[in-house]
Amino acid sequence: MDIVGDSAGGNLALCWALRRKRGDRLILLSPWLDLRVDGPSAQRNESRHSAFDREDLREYASLYLAGKAPTAPDCSPLLASAEDLKTLGELFLEHSETELLAEDSVAFATACRQAGLDITHAIEPDAPHGWQLFPDLLPEAKRSVGRMRDFLAQP
């Protein structure tokens, strides 16, 4: 199955695929992978042009978690084991270098490679969170749509 998610939806898509353990192929766009919100991403990119800051993430995480621990891999898939990652199919991961959560995506891509997964990792140098929504307006969004199309066209 092909599953696509962006931002918090990327978290949901990945967590669902990890629970299914059926080799789902994923497209994750600027996914929120670590609900602990104190990691390197939130610290490094906090002052960059993000629609969110760490305090926003703390509030959203508390609502999202509803009392569950942010260290649970089924809430923070960045913490998933290599064994669990191996249950995934091909991955397309895309984010901006300047996004608040960029470092988490880089760490996740590294973990996936170490687990032996087939991952396509695209990084836009300077785009705001959610840029992929505007392919008619932003050249980086048009590039993103092309990369996703190419990924989905693979057998």
pLDDT band at 71 (very low <50, low <70, confident <90, very high): very high
- Which residue did the predictor score with more confidence, 46 or 6? 6
Domains along the sequence of the chain with CATH: 2-153 (3.40.50.1820)
Using one digit for the tens of pLDDT, what is the confidence trace for 96-140? 988 888 889 999 999 999 999 999 999 999 898 899 999 999 999
Cβ neighbours for 112, distance < 8 A, ≥ 6 positions apart: 85, 88, 91, 93, 119
Q: Which is more confident, 33 or 48?
A: 33
Residue 49 has pLDDT above 80, yes or no: no
Give the residue with greater pLDDT, 58 vs 112: 112
41 pLDDT higher than 90: no
Quick one: which H or E segment has residue 146?
helix 139-153
- The whole model's pTM is what? 0.91
What is each CA distance from 127 to 29, 58, 85, 140, in whole angstroms? 12, 23, 28, 7
Question: 18-22, 29-33, 46-50, 70-74: which has the minimum mean pLDDT?
Answer: 46-50
